C-alpha cells in the first residue's frame, strides 16, 4: 500500500484543510472540527480512504475520521476530498499507537480495522492493530457499548485476532470466515480497496464484530 516517496506529500498534507494537524494538545480537536455532537466512527489504517469516503457519503448523520500512518497514501484520500468534499469526514496522519492522545475516553462510537498489516513475525505481534495491546487502547476511546469491526483475507491474522478478543475479554457479536457468502453480515457491506482486490483473486474475507467489555 505504501506509495513510496511521493515528492512533496508531507508539505501538501501540512497545508490541507481536510487534515487535523499535530498540535501540543490533540484531544478535543476532532469535536472542535465537526462542531456538532453526531457520533464519531473511525477507520485505523484507512490507506487511500475508499471505504471511509463511501461510508461518509452513505451515513451523513455520522462523523468519520480516517487515520493513516503514511503521507504518501493519505495524499490520495485528500485528493478525493478536494474533488468532492464531505463535511462529515476528516483525516489524521498518525501512528495508531498514539490514538489515546487524540480521542477522549468514550469519545468514539465504532472503530473499523480493514485489511491491517499482518506483521507475521511473532516478536512483532504487539504491532498488529488487533493485538491485546491495541484493544486496551481502543477500550479507552470507545464509548461503553462501542464496537470494533474487523475485516481481513489473512487467515493467520484473523485467528490471532480471535485469540486476542478472548484473552482481552471482549464480547463477540458476530463473525464469519466468508463474508461475501454470509447474507446477513454482508448486507450493506462496503468493500475496501484491499477487499475488492483480494476477493477478486478468490480469497474469502473474514470479519468479526466485537463489543467493548
Is 45 an interacting residue with respect to ligand SAM (CB under 6 A)? yes
CB of 37 to ligand SAM, least distance (A): 26
Comparing CB distances to ligand SAM, the nearer of 124 and 171 is: 124
Q: Which residue is nearest to ligand SAM (CB)?
A: 45
117 is catalytic: yes
Residue 122 has a CB neighbour count (10 Å cut-off) of 7
What is the b/e burial string over 146-183, where b = at least 16 CB atoms within 10 angstroms of the residue's CB? bbbbbbbbbeebbebbbebbeebebeeeebbeebeebe
The alpha carbon dihedral of 21, 23, 27, 29 has a sign of negative
Comparing CB distances to ligand SAM, the nearer of 67 and 90 is: 67
Is 192 an interacting residue with respect to ligand SAM (CB under 6 A)? yes
Comparing CB distances to ligand SAM, the nearer of 2 and 171 is: 2
Instruction: Select from 19, 40, 42, 73 the one that contacts ligand SAM (CB under 6 A).
Output: 73
Is 96 an interacting residue with respect to ligand SAM (CB under 6 A)? yes
The region of 15-23, 38-46, 161-169, 175-183 touching ligand SAM under the rule CB under 6 A is 38-46
Whether the CB-CB separation of 149 and 113 falls below 8 Å is answered with yes
Comparing CB distances to ligand SAM, the nearer of 72 and 88 is: 72
Mapping DSSP to helix (H, G, I), strand (E, B) and coil, where does residue 84 land?
coil
Q: Which of 117, 145, 166, 182 is catalytic?
A: 117
Whether the CB-CB separation of 148 and 204 falls below 8 Å is answered with no
Rounded CA gap, 76 and 12, in Å?
11
Which residues are paired to 40 by β-bridges? 63
Is 142 an interacting residue with respect to ligand SAM (CB under 6 A)? no
Mapping DSSP to helix (H, G, I), strand (E, B) and coil, where does residue 32 land?
helix
| Beta strands 108-114 and 89-93, pairing class | unpaired
Is 92 an interacting residue with respect to ligand SAM (CB under 6 A)? no
Instruction: Select from 194, 205, 207, 210 the one that contacts ligand SAM (CB under 6 A).
Output: 194
Is 117 an interacting residue with respect to ligand SAM (CB under 6 A)? yes
The footprint of ligand SAM (CB under 6 A) covers: 1, 44-47, 67-70, 73, 95-96, 114-117, 192-195
Amino acid at each position: 500500500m505504501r506509495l513510496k516517496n511521493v515528492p512533496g506529500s508531507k508539505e501538501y498534507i501540512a497545508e490541507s484543510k481536510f487534515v487535523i494537524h499535530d498540535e501540543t494538545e490533540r484531544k478535543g480537536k476532532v469535536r472542535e472540527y465537526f462542531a456538532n455532537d453526531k457520533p464519531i466512527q473511525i477507520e485505523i489504517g484507512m490507506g487511500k480512504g475508499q471505504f471511509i469516503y463511501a461510508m461518509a457519503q452513505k451515513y451523513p448523520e455520522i462523523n468519520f475520521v480516517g487515520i493513516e500512518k503514511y503521507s504518501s497514501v493519505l495524499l490520495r484520500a485528500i485528493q478525493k476530498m478536494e474533488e468532492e468534499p464531505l463535511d462529515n469526514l476528516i483525516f489524521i496522519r498518525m501512528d495508531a499507537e498514539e490514538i489515546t492522545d487524540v480521542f477522549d475516553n468514550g469519545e468514539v462510537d465504532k472503530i473499523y480495522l480493514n485489511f491491517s498489516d499482518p506483521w507475521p513475525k511473532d516478536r512483532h505481534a504487539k504491532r498488529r492493530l488487533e493485538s491485546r495491546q491495541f484493544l486496551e487502547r481502543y477500550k479507552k476511546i470507545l464509548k461503553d457499548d462501542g464496537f470494533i469491526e474487523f475485516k481481513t483475507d489473512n487467515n493467520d491474522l484473523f485467528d490471532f485476532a480471535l485469540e486476542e478478543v478472548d484473552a482481552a475479554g471482549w464480547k463477540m457479536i458476530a463473525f464469519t470466515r466468508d463474508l461475501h457468502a454470509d447474507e446477513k453480515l454482508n448486507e450493506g457491506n462496503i468493500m475496501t480497496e484491499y477487499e475488492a482486490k483480494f476477493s477478486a483473486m478468490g480469497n474469502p474475507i473474514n470479519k468479526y464484530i466485537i463489543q467493548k467489555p
